[in-house]
Amino acid sequence: MSANREHFSSRLGFILAAAGSAVGIGNLVGFPVSATKNGGGAFLLVYALFVAFICLPVMMAEMAMGRKAQQDPYGAYKTLSGNDKKWSFAGMLAVLTPFMIAVFYMVITVWIFGYLAQTALGNLDALADPKHFGQFINQSSVFWYMLLVGLIVNLILVGGVKQGIEKAAKFLMPALFVLLIGLVGYVLTLDNAMAGVRYYVIPDFSKMNASVLNGALSQAFFSLSLGMGILMTYASYISKKEDIVGGAKMVAVTDSLVAFIAGLMVLPAIFSFNPATNPDELSESSVSMIFVYLPKILLAIQSDIGYTGASIVAFVFFLLVFFAAITSLVSIIEVPTAALIEEKKVSRKTALMILAGSTGALTVLCTMSFGMVDWLTQFISYGGAPKSLFDLVYDVFYDTILPLNGLMVCLFVIYRWKKIKLSEELSLGCDGYKGSFTEKYVNFSLSTFIPVILLIIFVNTVATKFF
Ligand code: PFF
């Protein structure tokens, strides 16, 4: 099986693709805003500790499973458990979760693409109207944008691992970096920019409480694309010679660095627009930040560099977010694609067609659940309020099932697959892993407090969201 399995051509290709998955919409806007609201430097510190001591071991475990099995997540659970039926549920969830998250992420990526197109057409003033977003998401033009985004994602995926995913990541990730640094460089020259930077980095430990800690950990977990089967799938495309431990560290550092640098772009822009901004009053939601608040700020830049200049800055910003979203979407759709190819023995083209049809239909329904169609908008009621189909997909898969999938990975590698095999796999390509502090820490944390923390987050989310 693994002899004719496609592989990334190099370690760099794998790292760029995995970092492309990790760097997403959440990094660029969600992270900076939530850091500023929740204690600035104190949040940054806690976040970094969570990444290093909780997320990284889970990341290594996911990668080890994928590389060992050289299969999609469903196949990995099946093979590594010796066909133990008890674990097939975990395998199924590890494929269903990315399928459903792809749907909700696609909805948002389509809006980003729509805003990108609008800035290219010179319509920044329309985007800055506070009523525009509500109207835009209920216009039939979103379906055209959806078609184009679907086409772009499928064009990348049809190329396979080397010619598709890796090639796209090798272009999009460096481009993303250049756009980000360019924007930071410009934004830092604006009046009052430093007030934003100060709010972002100066620690305020008084803001720390259980819910902030929970939020920081969940954010780190999502941001590193854990629990989505993605890293298992991507790691199944790397050779036994590569160092997973080093690769995981590189991915975590890149992802966190991009999130941090994004704060040096977003906060100065916000504070230069309104020096009296009270961070507590900033919206927690990335969606309203990106589509309602930021366009207003971007338009205001015209007093500095004129309307065309402001439109160019806005275009670069949406292009940056779009690149980040595309590499994430590609990674998440690759999981069910690999599962269909390997479990159902269909060709890549057929798998992509099946997924385009199924995720496409669900994306259309989710898109219509923002007011176009009543029964989708008021789809279900829980937690004391009516919820749309989109809310349901988000709450169930993004908020709730991810920590559960992480928990399954911990339990599986330690208690079913066993530590010794995990160590064996992680030591390939990483001389000195055996007996190292990292090995001891990974084995200890995965078998003790990490699964406990993930279980608490899972139970807490179920209790607070659904009851
Ligand atoms: N790390 C991604 C982000 O921060 O946006 C998480 C992700 C979400 C990856 C959705 C892929 C995806 F489709």
SS (H, E, C) the chain: CCCCCCCCCCHHHHHHHHHHHHCCHHHHHHHHHHHHHCCCHHHHHHHHHHHHHHHHHHHHHHHHHHHHHCCCHHHHHHHHCCCCHHHHHHHHHHHHHHHHHHHHHHHHHHHHHHHHHHHHCCCHHHHCCCCHHHHHCCCCHHHHHHHHHHHHHHHHHHCHHHHHHHHHHHHHHHHHHHHHHHHHHHHCCCCCHHHHHHHHHCCCHHHCCHHHHHHHHHHHHHHCCCCCCHHHHHHCCCCCCCCHHHHHHHHHHHHHHHHHHHHHHHHHHHHHHCCCCCHHHCCCCHHHHHHHHHHHHHHHCHHHHHHHHHHHHHHHHHHHHHHHHHHHHHHHHHHHHHHHHHHCCCCHHHHHHHHHHHHHHHHHHHHHHHCCCHHHHCCEEECCEEECHHHHHHHHHHHHHHHHHHHHHHHHHHHHHHHHHHHHHHHCCCCCCCCCHHHHHHHHHHHCHHHHHHHHHHHHHHHHHHC
Q: How far is the CA of 455 from the centre of ligand 1 (A)?
A: 21
Taking alpha carbons only, the member of 288, 286, 296, 262 closest to residue 23 is: 262
Query: What pLDDT score was predicted for residue 362?
Result: 98
Is 220 inside any structural domain?
Answer: yes
Per-residue pLDDT of 255-265, as tens digits, reads: 999 999 999 99
Query: What pLDDT score was predicted for residue 284?
Result: 79
Best mutation site among 110, 225, 256 for ligand 1 pocket (most ligand atoms within 8 Å of CB): 225
| Residue owning the nearest CA to atom 12 of ligand 1 | 328
Using the atom order of ligand 1, give the atom closest to the CA of residue 325. 5
Is 407 inside any structural domain?
Answer: no
Using the atom order of ligand 1, give the atom closest to the CA of residue 27. 4
Query: What pLDDT score was predicted for residue 5?
Result: 85
Query: What pLDDT score was predicted for residue 283?
Result: 85
Mean pLDDT of 311-327: 98
**Which structure tokens are listed for 320?**
């940056």
Mean pLDDT of 159-163: 97
Distance CA 193, CA 265 (A): 9
Per-residue pLDDT of 348-404, as tens digits, reads: 999 999 999 999 999 999 999 999 999 999 999 999 999 999 999 999 998 899 999
Q: How far is CA 355 from the centre of its chain?
A: 20
**pTM, whole model, 2 decimals?**
0.96
Q: How far is the CA of 266 from the centre of ligand 1 (A)?
A: 19
Q: How far is the CA of 381 from the centre of ligand 1 (A)?
A: 26
Strand 380-382 with 385-387, pairing: antiparallel
Is 461 inside any structural domain?
Answer: no
Q: How far is the CA of 222 from the centre of ligand 1 (A)?
A: 7
Using the atom order of ligand 1, give the atom closest to the CA of residue 25. 5
What is the ipTM score, two decimals?
A: 0.95
The share of the chain scoring above pLDDT 90, in percent, equals 96
Q: Is the pLDDT of residue 3 over 90?
A: no
Using the atom order of ligand 1, give the atom closest to the CA of residue 98. 13
Best mutation site among 34, 221, 256, 332 for ligand 1 pocket (most ligand atoms within 8 Å of CB): 332
Query: What pLDDT score was predicted for residue 467?
Result: 86
Query: What pLDDT score was predicted for residue 399?
Result: 87
**Which structure tokens are listed for 433?**
């892993």
Q: Is the pLDDT of residue 105 over 60?
A: yes
Is 339 inside any structural domain?
Answer: yes
Taking alpha carbons only, the member of 144, 98, 177, 142 closest to residue 393 is: 98
Distance CA 313, CA 435 (A): 51
The number of distinct structural domains making up the chain is 1
Query: What pLDDT score was predicted for residue 330?
Result: 98
Is 306 inside any structural domain?
Answer: yes
Mean pLDDT of 206-225: 94
Q: Give me the count of residues in the chain.
A: 467
Is 63 inside any structural domain?
Answer: yes
Mean pLDDT of 266-280: 93
Query: What pLDDT score was predicted for residue 346?
Result: 97
| Residue owning the nearest CA to atom 5 of ligand 1 | 24
Q: What angle do CA 431, 437, 442 make, to 5 degrees?
A: 95
Best mutation site among 222, 224, 355, 393 for ligand 1 pocket (most ligand atoms within 8 Å of CB): 222
Query: What pLDDT score was predicted for residue 2?
Result: 52
Query: What pLDDT score was predicted for residue 247?
Result: 97
Best mutation site among 101, 109, 176 for ligand 1 pocket (most ligand atoms within 8 Å of CB): 101
Per-residue pLDDT of 428-448, as tens digits, reads: 999 999 999 999 999 999 999
Q: How far is the CA of 326 from the centre of ligand 1 (A)?
A: 10
Q: How far is the CA of 294 from the centre of ligand 1 (A)?
A: 21
HSE-CB for 119 with a 13 A CA cutoff: 26
CATH assignment of the domain containing 243: 1.20.1740
Q: Is the pLDDT of residue 4 over 80?
A: no
Using the atom order of ligand 1, give the atom closest to the CA of residue 324. 5
Is 252 inside any structural domain?
Answer: yes
Q: Give residues (CB < 6 A) around ligand 1.
A: 21-22, 24-27, 101-102, 105, 222-223, 225, 328-329, 331-332
Give me the domain span that covers residue 198.
Answer: 11-368
Is 432 inside any structural domain?
Answer: no
Q: Is the pLDDT of residue 287 over 70?
A: yes
Mean pLDDT of 17-34: 95
Q: How far is the CA of 367 from the centre of ligand 1 (A)?
A: 19
